[in-house]
Amino acid sequence: MDPPEHARPLVGIALKVASTLSFTAMATLIKLDSARYPIGELVFFRSFFALIPVFAWVAWRGQFPAVFHTKRFGRHVVRSVTGGCTMFLGFTALSLLPIADATAIGYAAPLMTVVLAVLFLGEKVRIYRWSAVIVGLIGVLVILSDYVGPDVEAGASERSAIGAMIAVAGAFLGAVTSTQVRAMVHTEGAGTIVVYFSLFTSLFGLFTLPFGWVMPDLFGILSLIAAGVFGGLGQVLMTQSFRYGGASMIAPFDYTSMIWALIVSLLVFNTWPTERMLLGTGIVVGAGLFVIFRERWLGIERARSKRAQTPTTPLN
């Protein structure tokens, strides 16, 4: 990354917040469209039309057609399979849950990524981050408590519980995908990863065509295309945000997505989360922020240690 970009953290933060707005717009459209169209059709439109802003971004960076060059084609396939399954599960959860609840449960993914990074990437995690992961997962259980028990509305408990479990499964697969991406970024560019993912998930969605797609009307087509464009735009904005600042500085602003989700829940869907859901969300967000800031502190400490071990140039 170029030094001038690092000197513009406010630009990075603004781009990150804009990406959460774009992803929330996508999720809102997906939830609205899920009442009329099957999940596979939603996945296709979300992935295929995401290529519009993604290809524009790649061309702007002068990486077209070099973006298709890869020596890790098999890794892209595996990453796209897990990522595609994550999308299927996420969209299904959105169709069954309030958008704020689905967003909150999705926050478990970064915490699960910490665990998977230890198991599969050999990363070292000490007691502080382990404690944050455990606390965060307890927060998820607090959120899930809204979907089980005698106080859940009769007739809605089964559907709600299924939606919540699907959201948890989606968060887990999202963590698996994030772990794969962390292993790929050392050899593959961000544009290459995003392009292959969008292409493969478009193909996966297209495979569901024989299972009964619904022909959309003009408004439906525009809504489905917009969902894809917002999804791709969110990906581009998120990727660009990290070019203007460190991950530990930018990542905390991912949680602004809950603000937009709460606004959408109230204004579009006329729903408001329960006190337990808000409490659980607060716990999960707090644990996630601790992990992020702990990573930042460790990075500073490692940099200091490296400087201290570097021999100074002797004076003549």
pLDDT for the residue numbered 313: 46
Q: With both helix axes pointing from N to C terminus, report the angle between 218-241 and 39-48 in degrees, rounded to the nearest 10.
A: 50
Nearest CA among 6, 31, 42 for reference residue 205: 42
Instruction: Quote the percentage of the chain above a pLDDT of 90.
Output: 59
Say whether 215 sits in a helix, a strand or coil: coil
pLDDT, tens digit (0-9, with 9 covering 90-100), for 114-165: 888 888 878 777 888 888 899 999 999 999 888 876 555 544 544 478 999 9
> What is the torsion angle, in degrees rounded to the nearest 10, for the CA atoms of residue 172, residue 252, residue 84 and residue 61?
-150
Binned at pLDDT 50, 70 and 90, residue 167 comes out as very high
Distance in Å from the first CA to the final CA of the chain: 35
Q: For residues 87 and 106, is the Cβ–Cβ distance under 8 A? A: no
Over residues 33-39, mean pLDDT = 96
d(CA 96, CA 108): 18
Binned at pLDDT 50, 70 and 90, residue 240 comes out as confident
Binned at pLDDT 50, 70 and 90, residue 316 comes out as very low
Q: Where are the alpha helices (DSSP H) in 242-312?
A: 247-250, 257-267, 275-309
pLDDT for the residue numbered 308: 62
Say whether 293 sits in a helix, a strand or coil: helix
pLDDT for the residue numbered 121: 78
Residue 49: pLDDT above 90? Answer: yes
Over residues 51-79, mean pLDDT = 92
Nearest CA among 26, 159, 137, 17 for reference residue 91: 26
pLDDT for the residue numbered 1: 38
Over residues 222-242, mean pLDDT = 93
pTM for the model: 0.87
pLDDT for the residue numbered 5: 46
d(CA 313, CA 85): 54
Residue 83: pLDDT above 60? Answer: yes
Give the count of alpha carbons within 13 A of 239, CB side only: 20
pLDDT, tens digit (0-9, with 9 covering 90-100), for 242-265: 788 766 678 788 899 999 999 999
Over residues 277-305, mean pLDDT = 80
114 or 56, which is more confident? 56
pLDDT for the residue numbered 4: 39
Q: Which of 66-80, 93-107, 135-149, 220-234 has the lowest mean pLDDT?
A: 135-149
Instruction: Supply the mean pLDDT for the chain.
Output: 86
Q: Which of 57-61, 216-220, 236-240, 309-313 has the lowest mean pLDDT?
A: 309-313
Q: For residues 79 and 180, is the Cβ–Cβ distance under 8 A? A: yes
